[in-house]
Chains A and B, each alone.
Chain A
Amino acid sequence: MDFPILASLVILPVAGAAIVAMLPRNRTELFLPVAVLVSLPTLAVAGYLLFSFETGEAGFQFTERVLWYEPWGLSWNMGVDGISILLVALTALLFPISILASASITKNVKLYMVSMLILEAGLLGVFLALDLVLFFVFFEITLIPMYLLIGMWGSANRVYAAIKFVIYTALGSGLMLAGIIALGIMAGDQFGGITFDYMALLDLELSSNAELWLFLAFGIAFAIKVPLFPFHTWLPDAHTEAPTAGSVLLAGVLLKLGTYGFVRFNLTLFPAASVDLAPWLVTLAVIGIVYGALVAIVQPDVKRLIAYSSVSHLGFIVLGTFALTMQGLQGGVIQMVNHGLTTGALFLLVGMLYDRRHTREISDYGGIAKVMPIFAGVFLFSAFASAGLPGLNGFIGEFMVLLGGYLSFPVHSIIAASGVVLAAIYLLWAYERVFTGPVTKAENEKLFDLNLREIAIVAPLVVLIIYLGVNPKPALDRIEPSVEAILERIETNTDYDVPDFGYTAELPVEAAGEEE
């Protein structure tokens, strides 16, 4: 076995957390810089991974496998494919940024930094794990640091939000655990030895009934995490009460655990149930898109507004996933990354505004663009990206999702398209109320514009938003083979035919027409 590069992705943040934990207690000024520094090697490894990843390969790369406990069939089993590689990179990128953006944390800074780094390890582990129990362990480990982040450093209503977040998520993951155990034991019956190895479980033959129930066990866990309507009620509270970095990571990465789980496990392990239940999930997704957007419009709290916009945007990802078409699924995967970048940027910006004025009420602002022009510009830019303006990253993903969705669920997709319009309404209306017009409040006149540190925080996101907007091909090239393999798997295991447009001409997805 080569150097265990994926394991190092998980170990580096943990080692970093240990380093931060060992810093002398009274040197509080060291915690943040050291935490940023120790998160950089992880980013470097993730970057190396991203560039040395073989494009055009559907299977898992850099795989590692060490048997842990024979009787239970547990192994340290990791690998990346085109779906997870981008999420790994996104996670590794967002952490240094959000740690850097945590300067306003003054209480228990050391514990905060340790929680952040443990959270990073957990999240990277989730995307890398190819053993179901290992996946579950990482999935659950993320709960505790996130719980602390919201509960200790959140705003007024933080304890309620933290508990709600944990209970909702734990409920879902509890069901998933039951599903995982059942799956492993069924594998034991069929293969003569319990295994939780994802690759082995792909060969498991399930009765359609078992497949349905297992799909639900996994699906509810992921639906809560996404969150899919009507499981979304924890999200506005958690996002709103969390500290800035917490919101960024919740929106940027944690929600993706749900959509990633759908793509990685539900579609491949339970293809028949996926096909059967797709209309339901797509319907819920579309309800979420429209409902989230409508509720976002009327929010008086700018952070809550962005939180509800996440409900809407994540709906697009689920729609794309369960459209079960090349374009839809590919769009869904790339939209996971896009949403992480744009919503991450928006939460960071709102956090910066909050640091200055300590209010999130839209009505407390007005005319901010005059005193903070750079800030206003970056905010408008991120809002455009979030609303899916062509040329920026959000457009590619949503366009592909709607395109792919139209092939299999035309009515749903037409309704979902209204979400794009609504997004423009809630974002631009919020922009108008916060930034344009005369400065109405005296407190707002003395606000200072972004400083160098803050520009450094948002700059990487802005660059990536533009880059993915004008040149999504490198990303799509990495996603495509893996997505294609998933759909092929569904076609071979069910009598479902992946619909396509019948030509491949100008689409960014060259291979779309090659399927049956």
Chain B
Amino acid sequence: MENISFLSVAPEVVLLIGAVLVLMAEVTLKLGRRAWALLGGGATVAAFGFSILQWLRVDEVMGQLNFSARGVTALRLPMVVMDHMSAFAGMLIFAVAVLALTSAWPLVSSLGSRGAEFVALFLLAVAGLHMMTMASNLILLFIGLETASISLYVVAGFTRDQARSDESALKYFLLGSFASAIFLYGVALSFASTGSTSIYGAGGIQAFFQANVILEPGIALIGVALMMVGIGFKVSAAPFHQWAPDVYQGAPAAAVPMMSAGVKIAGFAALARILTVAFPALQDDWTTAVALLAAISVVVGTLFAIAQSDVKRMLAYSGVAHAGFILMALVGGRAGIPGMWFYVGTYAFQLVGAFTVVTLVTGSRADRAPFDAFRGLGQRAPFLAGMMALFLIAMGGIPATAGFVGKLSVFGAAVDAGYLWLVILGVVMASAGLFFYLRLVVVMFFQDAAEAPGTATAPPELHAPSRVVLAIAGAITLVLGLVPWPLLNLVGDALPL
């Protein structure tokens, strides 16, 4: 047992216990929604607390496990690794999860006894996501990926009475399992070429590349490429993004924040670890691929977002573009990871905030969110509209918001890596992106609700906890735009071992 640090798996353990207890509370103890909220929220908050503890005690625990920065260790094939990167990812994922669960609460309440299932699945998904970021073994990473994905497939189809929700779940499931299979095939090929599925450890991939030079890395390259495709699908990077608009649109609005924000955080963390820790030897090859993926994502995401008439679809395509911007940081390899973290970290909160507004405006079970539903929101619900505008402006990368600092950091990383063309493409697309972000601002503030007959003119009912979610996400967006230094310092350390 001396090789086990319970702290390193504490968040997962808490979450799984939470999930089980929520189900028990419903099935055996017949406790109401309040108990689910207490258990689900409590488990997530506890996981968040453990992540902070992990961050503070990384060095100590790693010492116990005889890890060192070079990956030489008493353990031959460690399964999990607890480093600043996984701890930081934990803090982000769990914080986002608390907010997302809060904003999903109207949906949970409306589901009756099935609400407990929703909460349990949500907790499982969160545990799976964090497992992706701390996996030292590609198989475990895959298990985390699948735990999260399968939970989210179900969540996407949770409003079974709505055909579109079923369609969304099925589409997500089919394409998602296809992508998982591709990822797994990538793992198999990388095993074939390096003889290991472990990233760290004396018998791991990292150690293999330190000891050997592969003269013909064909198989390894294909393996890396397939893993990139698999994760590219999860984070909805073009050209693997086609599922995102349909799934976001069809899934119940309240389920989308976790689906979009949480998966992006975990996916990019996993990708960064695989690329920069396991395969730095092939960096010259994979940076080109990452740059291409980034370029395609930014262009496709932006251009398609312009053409959307549904806010959820628009945010889905803008998410594709954002995936591209985040990938830009990774062309810098390890040096780009802090930039990636800052961008993902702040974007996740913008995304949660934006989808929370969508949930409130259209209702938590709604599938569609047409622009018309937002008409005159500035008058009907100034707080919602103002917050939405803030998130949109931040996504557009306007200074004084965290979005600008995020863009600055990923562009900086890309320029530093010599990818000036990518940055120029990025800035051009970022400014084109302002068009569709501001279009929604126009709809909310410059158009009166009365102009469109048949749309809601009454202010949307404001779920008080959601208001808190918006205030927190808004504060993060604004404060980190004005004073980004603390987070920049923090992410500077949030590197993989």
Residues on A lying within 8 angstroms of B by beta carbon are 68-69, 71-72, 133, 136-138, 140-141, 143-144, 147-148, 151-152, 158-159, 162-163, 166-167, 170-171, 173-175, 177-178, 181-182, 184-185
Contact = CB atoms under 8 A, between A and B. Distances in A.
Contact of A144 (B398, B416, B424): B398
A167 B434 contact: yes
23 contacts: A69-B485, A71-B492, A140-B404, A141-B398, A141-B400, A144-B398, A151-B446, A166-B438, A167-B432, A170-B430, A170-B434, A174-B428, A174-B431, A175-B424, A177-B427, A178-B424, A178-B427, A181-B408, A181-B423, A182-B415, A184-B412, A185-B412, A185-B415
Contacts of B400: 137, 141
A173 B397 CA distance: 12
B477 to A, nearest CB: 14
Contact of A140 (B398, B428, B432, B485): B398
B435 A163 contact: yes
B445 interface: yes
Q: Which of A141, A158, A171, A177 has the most CB of B within 10 A?
A: A177
A364 B5 CA distance: 84
SS of B interface (majority): helix
Interface in B385-437: 393, 398-400, 404, 407-408, 411-412, 415-416, 420, 423-424, 426-428, 430-432, 434-435
A38 to B, nearest CB: 20
B142 to A, nearest CB: 36
Contacts of B407: 177
Contact of A182 (B420, B445, B485): B420
Nearest to A217: B424
Nearest to A154: B446
Contact of B420 (A136, A178, A184): A178
B10 interface: no
Contacts of B427: 174-175, 177-178
A158 B399 contact: no
B446 A159 contact: yes
B488 A71 contact: yes
Given A177-B407, A181-B411, 14 more contacts: A69-B485, A136-B399, A137-B404, A140-B404, A141-B399, A159-B442, A162-B438, A167-B432, A174-B428, A175-B424, A175-B427, A177-B427, A181-B412, A184-B412
B53 to A, nearest CB: 27
A144 B445 contact: no
Nearest to B414: A181
Interface string B431-458: 1101100110010011000000000000
Contacts of B426: 178
B446 A158 contact: yes
Given A137-B400, A181-B408, A181-B411, A151 B442 contact: yes
Contacts of B411: 177-178, 181
A230 to B, nearest CB: 18
Given A140-B404, A144-B398, A185 B416 contact: yes
B432 A171 contact: yes
B415 A137 contact: no
B442 A171 contact: no
A151 B89 CA distance: 40
Contacts of A72: 412, 488
Given A167-B435, A185-B416, A68 B446 contact: no
A192 to B, nearest CB: 14
Nearest to B423: A178
A137 B398 CA distance: 8
B431 A170 contact: yes
B184 to A, nearest CB: 38
| Cβ-closest 5 pairs across A and B | A174-B427, A170-B431, A137-B399, A174-B431, A171-B431
A173 B431 CA distance: 8
A151 B416 CA distance: 38
A151 B439 CA distance: 11
Contacts of A185: 412, 415-416
Contacts of B428: 171, 174-175
A151 B445 contact: yes
Contacts of B484: 69
Contacts of A163: 435, 438-439, 442
B430 A152 contact: no
Contact of B408 (A71, A133, A166): A133
A246 B98 CA distance: 43
Interface in B129-154: none
A282 B491 CA distance: 47
A175 B398 CA distance: 14
Contacts of B423: 178, 181-182
A69 B488 contact: yes
A68 B485 contact: yes
